[in-house]
C-alpha cells in the first residue's frame, strides 16, 4: 500500500506504507496516521503530510531555535496550530520560558498524536503549557494577554488554516506582541506554483505590518520540493544582526539540524526566491 500526495497535477510524492493506523474524519479535516518503511510513523491532514518521525526535527528545530537565538528574553509564547506537539517540545527545552499557550482548532490532532507519535507530544506534560482548543483567528482577536513570541505552526491556507494567512490575523498578532516581539510562521515553499503564490501573499501582508519582515529556509525532504520557508516578522530584533551566537550552546540544547552556521545561512536566500519576494538583488 502506498500513500501518495499530489505535489502538482504532474508530480506525486509516494511513501510505501506498512500499516494504516488510523483514518478519521474530525469536525475540521480528514486525519490519517500511517506506519511506513522509511519514514517511520507519519500523519496527514486532508491528504497532506504534516509530520513524520524521520524529518520532523528539521521543521521544529528551525521554527523554534531560530527566534529563540535572536530575542534575548522570551518568557511568554503563543503557538497557533502545532497540535502534533513538535514546536512545544522544542520550546520546553528553555527554562527561561514562563508560559506556552497552544491554540489548536482540532483537539483530535492532539489526542491522536499522543497515541501514535508520543515522542512529539512529551512537551504537553510540562506545567508551563496550556492547551486551548479553539480557532487561532478568534483567539488572537480576543486575547488580552501579550506575548514575546508567536509561532504560527499551521496547515496550508485551505480549510481551517485559511484564516491564519489573512491580514486580520497578522494584525491581531502584531497587537498582542510586546514591543520587541517576534512572529514566526510556516511560510510555504518558493518552488511549485501553488505554494509560491501562497508564500508571496503571506509575505506581502506581513511586510506591510512589521518594521522587520524577512524569510528563512530549511531543507525538509518530505514537504513539496523539499525547500521550505519560514516567515520572520519582528518589531525590534533583527534576524542576523541581533543573533546571539551563544544562546543554544550555553543552554546545552541538543539539536540535530539547527546550529549557528545554519542560522545565518538560512537567511541567505537564492536569487529566484528573492525575486519572488520582491527583494532587491544587490
Distance in angstroms (rounded) separating the CA atoms of residues 164 and 171: 11
Report the relative pairing of strands 11-25 and 2-8 from DSSP bridges: antiparallel
- Chain contacts with ligand SAM (rule: CB under 6 A): 45, 50-51, 59, 80-84, 103-106, 109, 135-137, 153-155, 160-161, 163-164, 186
Q: State which residue, 229 or 262, has the beta carbon closest to ligand SAM.
A: 229
**Closest distance between ligand SAM and the C-beta of residue 233, in Å?**
18
Q: What does DSSP assign to residue 30?
A: E
* DSSP character string of 87-127: HHHHHTT-TT--EEEEE-S-HHHHHHHHHH-TTTSGGGGST
**At its nearest, how many Å lie between ligand SAM and the CB of residue 72?**
27
- Closest approach, Cβ 180 to ligand SAM, in A, equals 25
Report yes or no: 52 and 17 within 8 Å, Cβ to Cβ.
no
Rounded distance, CA 14 to CA 4, Å?
A: 4
Q: Looking at beta carbons only, is 163 or 267 nearer to ligand SAM? A: 163
CA-to-CA distance for 218 and 229, rounded, in angstroms? 6
In a 3-state reduction of DSSP, which class is residue 102?
A: strand
Closest CB to ligand SAM among residues 15, 103: 103
Whether 153 is catalytic is yes
Shortest distance, position 202 Cβ to ligand SAM, whole Å: 13
Q: Are 31 and 210 in contact (CB under 8 A)?
A: no
Set 32, 135, 148, 153: catalytic member: 153
Nearest residue (CB) to ligand SAM, 123 versus 136: 136
For 11-30, b where at least 16 C-beta lie within 10 A, e where not — what string? eebebebeeebeeeebebbe
Closest CA to 78 of 156, 160, 181, 215: 181
Residue nearer to ligand SAM on the CB measure, 51 or 273: 51
Q: Measured from the CB of residue 29, what is the shortest distance to ligand SAM in angstroms?
A: 6
Catalytic residues: 153
Amino acid at each position: 500500500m502506498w500513500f501518495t500526495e499530489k505535489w502538482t497535477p504532474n508530480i506525486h510524492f509516494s511513501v510505501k506504507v506498512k500499516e494504516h493506523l488510523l483514518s478519521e474524519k474530525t469536525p475540521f479535516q480528514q486525519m490519517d496516521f500511517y506506519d511506513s518503511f522509511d519514514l517511520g510513523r507519519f500523519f496527514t491532514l486532508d491528504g497532506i503530510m504534516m509530520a513524520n518521525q524521520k524529518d520532523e526535527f528539521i521543521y521544529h528545530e528551525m521554527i523554534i531555535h531560530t527566534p529563540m537565538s535572536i530575542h534575548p528574553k522570551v518568557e511568554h509564547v503563543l503557538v497557533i496550530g502545532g497540535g502534533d506537539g513538535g514546536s512545544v517540545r522544542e520550546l520546553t527545552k528553555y527554562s527561561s520560558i514562563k508560559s506556552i499557550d497552544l491554540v489548536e482548532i482540532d483537539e483530535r490532532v492532539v489526542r491522536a498524536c499522543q497515541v501514535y507519535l508520543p515522542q512529539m507530544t512529551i512537551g504537553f506534560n510540562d506545567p508551563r503549557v496550556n492547551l486551548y482548543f479553539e480557532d487561532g483567528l478568534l483567539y488572537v482577536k480576543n486575547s488580552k494577554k501579550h506575548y514575546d513570541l508567536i509561532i504560527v505552526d499551521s496547515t496550508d491556507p485551505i480549510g481551517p488554516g485559511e484564516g491564519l494567512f489573512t491580514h486580520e490575523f497578522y494584525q491581531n498578532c502584531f497587537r498582542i506582541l510586546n514591543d520587541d516581539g517576534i512572529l514566526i510562521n510556516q511560510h510555504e515553499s518558493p518552488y511549485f506554483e501553488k505554494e509560491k503564490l501562497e508564500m508571496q501573499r503571506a509575505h506581502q501582508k506581513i511586510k506591510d505590518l512589521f518594521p522587520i519582515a524577512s524569510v528563512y529556509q530549511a531543507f525538509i525532504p518530505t514537504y513539496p520540493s523539499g525547500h521550505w520557508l519560514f516567515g520572520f516578522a519582528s518589531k525590534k530584533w533583527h534576524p542576523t544582526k541581533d543573533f546571539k551566537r551563544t544562546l543554544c550552546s550555553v543552554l546545552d540544547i541538543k539539536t540535530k539540524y539547527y546550529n549557528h552556521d545554519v542560522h545565518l545561512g538560512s537567511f541567505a536566500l537564492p536569487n529566484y526566491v528573492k525575486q519572488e519576494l520582491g527583494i532587491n538583488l544587490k
